[in-house]
Amino acid sequence: MANLKSFGTTLNKGVVKFSNNLVVKTVAAGMARLLPVTMVGSVCTLLISLPWDPYTEFITNIGISKFLQLGSTMTNDIISIYVVVVMAFEMSRLLKKSQLDAVLTAVVSFFVVTPMTLALIGEAEVSVFTTTYLGSRGMFVAMIVGMVATYLFSIFTDHGPKVKMPASVPPAISGAFESLFPVIFVSGIFICVNALFSFTSAGDMHTFIYSVLQAPLEGLGSSIWTMCLIVLLGEFFWFFGIHGSNVTGAVTSALWMAPAIENTQAVANGMAAPNTLNYYALNIYKGPRHLVLSAMLLIMPKSKQLKAVGKVAIVPGFFGISEPMKFGIPMVLNPTILIPMSLAPVISVLIYFGACQIGFLAPAAINLPWSMPPIISGLLAGGWQGAVIQLLQMVAIFVLYLPFFKMLDKQKCAQEAEQERMLEEQAAASAA
């Protein structure tokens, strides 16, 4: 146990260092801030795609569907713009620089490197931005530009020339002039970057980044074993008291957010979702393991401690919150519970993947809060099939936990019996 704690301490230091990296913190926090935007698109997509013909005919005939479609178009189809904003906002917050100026600089820089297309509108030929680069395909460029532009803005703000205004000048005007040179310098750098890419075979930054970075990462993310490894590591870190989702959040966003947005776009346009493995699927179908374990703790144990933990954990368990169990059982540094704790989300992901592969369940295409209770989230995301899959996951998780749970309960009962015996002996000694 001493060696295990020593290893845990070393691992914790490494993980904390990784989690505190500026880029990792920016990506994790930035993607979390996208939730309201993606929820708007998801709700509109859900309302458009409800599988009931009288309903779809009704919203189409009275003209509601086109307005719902607009809700999806203005969120998912231009998601890269929002990604630039949240990346710049979060990094500038961490760097303690003007968030508004950083966001404006990043947005300008993003549009500078984004190709425009000639389109015929009426009789005039105009240059326009297309959703090809503003949607899910442009997300990696948006992440890179949002962070790089903000970091350069911070450097130029600290070390570049400044325009000092008299104290009598209003703060808004003074702040605008102080940011003048940093914004110009950063925008100029990205104008040069755009020019340099124009001389390459790719022709633009978006095409280059997609071919050398985003497409390979999407290929990596399309492997079920990659997702299994990520969810396993998320729980394994918890064994050492490290919040696994905080560590893997940046990785899961980078690998599976773009495929999730692509799914929502497809469904909103009346097509099948193309990506089985995506960020929304991970939120919804990683498994109702916390609810299952909290219910087992409430109903099954003979141990007084475990039953007390169950009473506290059952309500949070409905909403996917596991901390009362993680520290109440405890699951942290508890070898008895390590195997089911680590494998429960893996088995759940495999059940979801298998259901999609055989055509029973459609891939997840709408975003739901990770805290939404099981069955409800399954119904909303996948209809009755989604609810059935979550019920199947519950059964599988129960079967996985059962032998280890019995072993844990037996250990706790033995510990409690020993404690009671010691208390009785102390009471007898005191009475004598």
**pLDDT, tens digit, for every residue of 366-402?**
998 888 999 999 999 999 999 999 999 999 999 999 9
Task: Retrieve residue 348's tokens.
Answer: 């759940």
Q: 414 with 421: CB under 8 angstroms?
A: no
Clarify whether residues 175 and 240 are in a common domain: no
The length of the chain in residues reads: 432
**R_g over Cα of the chain:** 26
Q: Which domain, by its residues, includes 298?
A: 229-431
Task: Please name the helix (run of DSSP H) or strand (run of DSSP E) that holds residue 117, with its range, or none.
Answer: strand 117-121
Q: Which residues contact 120 (CB under 8 A, 6 or more apart)?
A: none
- pLDDT tens for 236-295 read 888 877 777 777 887 888 889 989 999 999 998 889 999 999 999 999 999 899 999 999
Clarify whether residues 171 and 289 are in a common domain: no
Answer whether residue 73 is part of any domain.
no
Rounded CA-CA distance 19/244 in Å is 10
Clarify whether residues 244 and 168 are in a common domain: no
Q: What is the pLDDT of residue 126?
A: 84
Clarify whether residues 292 and 203 are in a common domain: no
In sequence order, what DSSP letters do the residues of 126-183 get, joined into one string? EEE--HHHHSGGGHHHHHHHHHHHHHHHHHHHHHS---PPPTTS-HHHHHHHHTHHHH
Rounded CA-CA distance 405/300 in Å is 9
Rounded CA-CA distance 147/95 in Å is 11
Clarify whether residues 156 and 204 are in a common domain: yes
Per-residue pLDDT tens, the chain, 432 aa: give them: 556 566 556 666 776 677 788 988 898 889 888 888 988 988 888 888 877 778 888 888 888 888 888 888 899 899 999 999 999 999 999 999 989 999 999 999 999 999 988 887 777 788 888 888 898 889 999 999 999 999 999 999 988 777 676 666 666 676 667 778 899 999 999 999 999 999 988 889 999 998 888 778 878 888 999 999 999 988 888 887 777 777 788 788 888 998 999 999 999 888 999 999 999 999 999 989 999 999 999 999 999 999 999 999 999 999 988 888 988 888 887 888 999 999 999 999 999 999 999 999 999 999 988 889 999 999 999 999 999 999 999 999 999 999 999 999 999 999 888 888 887 777 777 766
Clarify whether residues 283 and 390 are in a common domain: yes
Q: 348 with 396: CB under 8 angstroms?
A: yes
Phi and psi of 127, rounded to 5°?
-90, 130
**Structural domain count, the chain:** 2
Answer whether residue 180 is part of any domain.
yes
Answer whether residue 238 is part of any domain.
yes
Q: What is the pLDDT of residue 55?
A: 84
The CA-based angle 428-431-432, given to 5 degrees, is 85
Clarify whether residues 311 and 362 are in a common domain: yes
Answer whether residue 28 is part of any domain.
no
Clarify whether residues 141 and 283 are in a common domain: no
219, 247, 267 - which closes a domain: 219
Clarify whether residues 210 and 255 are in a common domain: no
Q: What does each C-alpha distance from 226 to 50, 230, 231, 276, 428 come to in angstroms?
A: 31, 6, 9, 13, 59
Clarify whether residues 266 and 407 are in a common domain: yes
Tell me the residue type at 33.
R
Clarify whether residues 310 and 168 are in a common domain: no
Q: What is the pLDDT of residue 170?
A: 66
Clarify whether residues 377 and 334 are in a common domain: yes
